[in-house]
Amino acid sequence: MAPASECRNSHLYYYSIKFALSAYATLFSILGLVILCVGIYAEVERQKHKTLEGIFLAPAIILLLLGFTMFGVSFVGMVGSLRDNRTLLKTFFWVLLVIFLTELLLIFIEIIFENKMNAVFHSNIQEGIRHYYDDLDFKNILDFVQEKFSCCGGDEYRDWEVNQYHSCNSSGPLACGVPYTCCVRKVPGEVINTLCGYRTLDKERLELLSIIHVRGCIHAVGLWLKDNFEATLGIVCSLLLPQVIGLVMAWLYWQKLNEIYSKLDTVDFRLLEMRDFSFGAVDLSGAGWCWCLPKEGGYIPVNAEDEEDEEEGAICHSK
């Protein structure tokens, strides 16, 4: 216990925690600022093209919120650690803790209420499919997911009926079909037939198994996460572990500053002996074992009356 206590009281421990937290907060401040700048650029481009609005559907808005949160919280932690400001450190710690607990809560909600969360995702994906050709950001993301996970639509391939160009009631080459990213690739690297999904929405699933992917992307991504548990665990840890490290460092540094400030705010009368002050000069009767109990009139030196008599005698002698 003694070596551990000496380590915590050493200057090396103080500066190690201080600069480790400063470096941590600075790194994430820069990262948050970069994400914020990318989000601003993406939002400007989105407004130029008048693409779809919505938090779940516009990646620019997600980047803006993520970048602003990362930069704001990390900047508070950086300034608090550099300036030894306990108020800023408390703010950094509690805000980061709330974010961490919120993420844990969302993970548990997704696990426990999987069907309800899938319904929420499905409704948002359908909204995105409805404006598929209006929002290039969402289009690129959905195309990537459909190709990567061999899926089509949100819940199933028939989700594409909500799009006005792919609806069976519309006219044109895309009517009653799905995008080419839903098609089954028989030969890797082959030339893509952009009309491979023509007239597929009015057919049954079994007829389409060799033509398009009939499984929805919500189920495909969910199955991939379950089948690749190590990758899923790695993704979760990569999101949560940096926050845990920040919380631990902020807590340790906060407690260290509390110790330092408590020592500065405490008057140890025993140190007075080091300043050529003798306790014999102070009447400590009634102060108790802690030398802290109040006394009417204060703690007057024992020889105060003698000093007063000497002063009166000196005055009379001068007269």
- pLDDT digit string (tens) for 28-77? 999 999 999 998 888 787 777 655 554 445 677 888 899 999 999 999 99
Tokens 């990646």 correspond to 59
Q: What is the mean pLDDT of the segment spanning 101-109?
A: 92
- What's residue 55's pLDDT? 45
Backbone angles phi, psi at 147, to 5 degrees: -75, -40
8 Å CB contact between 218 and 224: no
8 Å CB contact between 89 and 75: no
Which residues, listed in sequence order, are joined to residue 215 by a DSSP beta bridge?
A: 156
Look at residue 155 and tell me if it is in a domain: no
Which domain covers residue 74, as residue numbers?
11-148+233-263
Q: In this structure, what token pair is assigned to residue 18?
A: 């201080």
Look at residue 187 and tell me if it is in a domain: no
Is 272 exposed, middle or buried (CB count within 10 Å of its CB: 0-12, 13-18, 19+)? middle
Look at residue 185 and tell me if it is in a domain: no
Report how many domains make up the chain: 1
Rounded CA-CA distance 18/253 in Å is 7
Residue 283: name the closest of 310, 311, 304, 309 by CA. Answer: 304
Residue 267 reports pLDDT greater than 50: no
Q: Which residues contact 176 (CB under 8 A, 6 or more apart)?
A: 166, 167, 168, 198, 199, 200, 201, 202
Look at residue 84 and tell me if it is in a domain: yes
Cα→Cα distances 102→108, 168, 259, 289, Å: 10, 42, 31, 49
Look at residue 17 and tell me if it is in a domain: yes
Rounded CA-CA distance 156/296 in Å is 85
Look at residue 123 and tell me if it is in a domain: yes
- Give residue-wise pLDDT tens across range 174-229: 889 899 999 998 777 777 788 888 888 888 888 888 889 999 999 999 999 888 98
Look at residue 303 and tell me if it is in a domain: no
Element (H, E) at 94: helix 86-112
Rounded CA-CA distance 127/56 in Å is 10
Rounded CA-CA distance 127/162 in Å is 8
Tokens 């002698």 correspond to 317
Look at residue 126 and tell me if it is in a domain: yes
- What's residue 186's pLDDT? 79
